[in-house]
Amino acid sequence: MQRNNWTREELLVAFNLYCRIPFGTITGSNPKVQELSKLLNRTAGAVAMKLCNFARFDPYHQARGVKGLANGGKLDEVVYNEFINNWDEMLFESERLLTQYEETTIEKKYEPILVDLSDKKGEVKIREVKTRVNQNLFRQLILSIYQKKCAISGIDISEMLVAGHILPWAEHEKERLNPENGICLSSIYDKAFEKGFIGIDENYKILISSELKGNIKRDYYQPFFGRFEGKVINLPDRFLPSKEFLRKHLESKNFK
């Protein structure tokens, strides 16, 4: 196995994996870590250590006292910040590089979600491919950091979960793929959050709108909504929801 310094390309694909597996599963025994280690011709332990080292730049883990390796490479932080400042470009670039290590292409790897683009050409096709792949990666990222559980109800059936946005996708292009603007919710709570029936304050407590409280005598109110009021959401293990985004969401919905 190689023991040379990590290249930028290797760090990009490593951070790609860092975003797609729960933090608590970052060990040398994780099959995905082992798979990447083979592609990079490094030990699984070395890959796991590198993934854990990224956490030292995350404010959430800094607050927990995660310091990482004292001699961690400066390039680690450069790559971390590249993602933080430009998720749209970096997610796609890291996935494109990963497909090269896998000896395939973006088009082949994501054929099921790109199959209807065969008639499109040029920039239109390139843009659509990037959008769909990034949406797929964003979903993987959000479900991963929330341990594949709804932030409100704890429902852990992946097919029922949505990688929702705090600030709307259509209105905030720069934040579309920012995990701090993402939240994992089951479909009913995603819709309720989107429509402003429920909200989350800057302390991550669940709020119920006065409009929804108008249904307090309904049989569904307490089991589906009322019992969660005032409780803290199930927080992600990385990339905490932006308090600024949560505040803006409440303001945009004239939350009362």
pLDDT tens track for 14-49: 999 999 999 989 999 999 999 999 999 999 999 999
Number of Cβ within 10 Å of residue 129's Cβ equals 18
Q: Closest Cα partner for 17 from 76, 100, 75, 91?
A: 91
Please give the Cα distance from 179 to 237 (Å, whole number).
11
97-143 tens-digit pLDDT? 999 999 999 999 999 998 888 777 888 888 999 999 999 999 999 99
Whether 183 contacts 162, CB under 8 Å = no
pLDDT for residue 1 = 44
Q: Tell me which H or E stretch contains 161.
A: strand 161-165
* Burial of 98 per CB tally in 10 Å (0-12, 13-18, 19+): buried
pLDDT for residue 135 = 95
pLDDT for residue 2 = 45
pLDDT for residue 187 = 95
pTM for the model: 0.91
143-163 tens-digit pLDDT? 999 999 999 999 999 999 999
The residue among 188 and 116 whose pLDDT is bigger is 188
pLDDT for residue 65 = 66
What is the pLDDT of the chain when averaged over all its residues? 92
